[in-house]
Structure 1
Amino acid sequence: MLAQQRRQAILERVRATGGVRVADLVRELGVSDMTIRRDLEVLAERGLVDKVHGGATTTGPGSTEEPGFTAKSARQQPEKDAIARTAARLVRPGTAIALSAGTTIWTLARHLVEVPELTVITNSIRVADVFHRVPRADRTVVLTGGVRTPSDALVGPVAVATIRRLHVDTLFLGVHGMSARAGFTTPNLLEAETDRELVACARRLVVPADHTKWGLVGISTIAELAEAHVVITDEGLPAHARDELAAAAGELVIAAREPADTRESL
């Protein structure tokens, strides 16, 4: 079993039971105590589990907990980059797109700076800054305005009023969590309202979300899984989650990491 597969198995066990013991994992997975402790350290550094004496427990985020942009940007970087590269291939020159807030969408924006004749609607300060730093005379960027959230999204009545008058070809929607029961969710009520308006203004909905978003549920639903025309995730998504997403969404795309990203450090 590869390290990535083993860590995914550990994470699924933690989420299913609420906690794991190192001794139990050593016996079940047939690896050394040191290997399991290193796996738990990696998962803890990514914010996926909390390390405790002799094992690990779920991080237990509340439905309204909203990490800041900097904290989120350090998580799942290789996965987010693979997802962003795949999502960028869906953008054609001369189209109008909407980019919501979130670190995966911010990563996507960096892959779109050279696309010609692009019109971009966004409620993300960070996304707008990406395009501002690489200007093009043939590109239009519309920043909605609104009240700033911890994830640097602009939300509320001003953002909603701006978006309501617009129409785009494709929306790339960043989400806090996704599940079969709750759909695509966010921990911020005002952001949910703004994101729902973005969904309504787009002909096509694309959700780029890494595997750690599966099973997380924020306080408010943005859209049901079935509303997504395309969901782009990474190879870490468990088989049962792939089946549920593939059955509900229009298309499920698994983004492969570049070879350099898959190398295990010794």
Structure 2
Amino acid sequence: MLKIDRQNYILEMLQEKGSILVTDACEALQCSDQTIRRDLQEMEEKGQLVRTYGGAYLSLDEDKSAPIQLREQLIPKEKERIGITASDNFIKDGDIIMMDSSTTCYTLAKHLVKSQANVTIITNSINIIKLFGNTNQTNKLICVGGTYKERSGSFIGNNTINSLSTFVADKAFISCSAISKKFGILDNYVQQQAVRKCMLEHSKEKYLLVDNTKFDDEGNFVIDSFKSLDGIITNKKPSDAWLEFFSQENISILWK
């Protein structure tokens, strides 16, 4: 197949679904992943898409975050470590917990189901809802409704915020698009930023689950400052500059 035909197919899939996986493109076009990756690199240089681990997506004016289908492919083992570390160190029997729609929180939820933890989950994540709905666990699940956003697999909007605001959780676990020494905890979509900020405001303890790819990345909306947090959980030791910053700001961080 000619390069122009491959790239036209990729553009069609992006227009239809918003994202594309390298593996899916290889299967559909019957070519190697090296060929697809070269196409994606060339198309990104033309400003036609944004590449990420395992695929590419269209960046929207209102939401520059990668769709959940791509985020699920990004460093799954590292996110699993974060989820297990959070569960083992910060969750106890009987906790009422708020969780956002991040893929990292989803790994935490999977561990809670596997360990049969006696907790109550409050979430706007459709994947966490499905996870708990497909089990016979005694865990309680509270789903906050609102406008469903397929790109993030979550409920957002005023109804979501209003519903969350009626609760006070023991703990909140959220992720984010990026963290910045200057600006704090950042998001790339204002509707998600509002949900995450509300979760922090309505929880007694607040924890950020953030993998190493988020350090010094970019975001457009401030969720909160680091000082609002009780702890940060990540998957690897941060740089010396970040460790010095956290020490100066008296911010607790844990990695494994």
TM range (shorter): 0.7 to 0.9
Q: Distance in 1 between matches of 2:160 and 2:241?
A: 37
Match of 2:30 in 1: none
Query: Alpha carbons of 1:236 and 1:139: their partners in 2 closer, same or farther (altered >3 Å)?
Result: same
Which residue in the other structure is 2:82 paired with?
83
Could you tell me how far apart the structure 2 residues matched to 1:126 and 1:248 are?
Answer: 35
What residue is the counterpart of 2:220 in the other structure? 219
Partner Cα separation in structure 2 for residue 156 and residue 62 of structure 1: 18
Q: In the TM superposition, what are the counterparts of 1:54-69 in structure 2 within 5 Å?
A: 64-69=63-68
Unaligned runs of 5+ in 2: 1-32, 44-49, 53-58
- Equivalent pairs counted in the alignment come to 205
Query: C-alpha separation between the residues in 2 aligned to 1:215 and 1:51?
Result: 25
Counterpart of 2:92 in structure 1 is 92
- CA offsets 1:70-112 (integer angstroms, 9 cap, x no match): 1011111121111111011111111101111111111111000
Give the counterpart letter for 2:79 in structure 1. Answer: K
Q: Percent identity?
A: 18
Q: Is the 8 A contact 1:84 1:107 kept in 2?
A: yes
Aligned to 2:193: 192
Q: Distance in 2 between matches of 1:130 and 1:196?
A: 24
Question: Aligned to 2:112, what secondary structure does the other structure show?
Answer: coil
- The structure-2 alpha-carbon separation of the partners of 1:116 and 1:104, relative to structure 1 and needing over 3 Å to count, comes to closer
Taking structure 1 as the reference length, the TM-score comes to 0.70
Report matched runs for 1:43-192 at 5 Å: 64-89=63-88, 90-113=90-113, 114-136=115-137, 138-149=138-149, 150-192=151-193
Whether the aligned pair in 2 keeps the contact of 1:92 and 1:115 (CA below 8 Å) is no
**Helix, strand or coil: the match of 2:98?**
strand
Distance 2:236 2:120 in 1: 31
**Shift of the alpha carbon at 1:204?**
0.6
1:245-265 CA distance string (max 9 Å, x none): 34336311012xxxxxxxxxx
| Contact residue 178 and residue 218 of structure 2 kept, 8 A | yes
CA contact (8 A) 1:228 1:249 kept: no
Per the TM alignment, residue 59 of structure 1 is displaced from its structure 2 partner at its CA by 6.2
Corresponding position of 2:16: none
Deviation at 1:157, TM superposition (A): 0.6
Q: Distance in 2 between matches of 1:51 and 1:225?
A: 38
The Cα of 1:242 is off from its aligned counterpart by 2.6
3-state SS, counterpart of residue 233 of structure 2: strand
Q: For residue 117 of structure 1, report the CA deviation from its aligned partner.
A: 2.9
Tell me which amino acid in the other structure corresponds to 1:81: E
Are 2:178 and 2:187, in contact at CA under 8 Å, matched by a contact in 1?
A: yes
Whether the 8 Å CA contact 1:229–1:249 is kept in 2: the answer is no
CA 1:249–1:211: 2 relative to 1, 3 Å = farther
Distance in 2, Cα, partners of 1:249 & 1:209: 18
Tell whether the 8 Å contact from 1:182 to 1:217 is kept in structure 2 after alignment.
Answer: no
Deviation at 1:51, TM superposition (A): 8.7
2:47 equivalent in structure 1: none
Counterpart residue identity of residue 172, structure 2: L
Q: CA RMSD in A?
A: 2.7
Cα deviation digits, residues 7-52 of structure 1 (max 9, x gap): xxxxxxxxxxxxxxxxxxxxxxxxxxxxxxxxxx9xxx8xxxx699
The residue type equivalent to 2:70 in the other structure is A
Note if contact 2:237-2:255 (Cα within 8 Å) is conserved in structure 1. Answer: no
* SS of the residue 1:78 aligns to: helix
Partners of 2:204 and 2:116 in 1: CA distance? 20
1:185 to partner: Cα distance = 1.3
Task: Say which SS state the counterpart of residue 79 (structure 2) adopts.
Answer: helix
Q: Residue 225 and residue 198 in structure 1: after superposition, are their counterparts in 2 closer, same or farther (change >3 A)?
A: same
**Paired letter, 1:230:** G
Q: Is the 8 Å Cα contact of residues 231 and 249 (structure 1) preserved in structure 2?
A: no
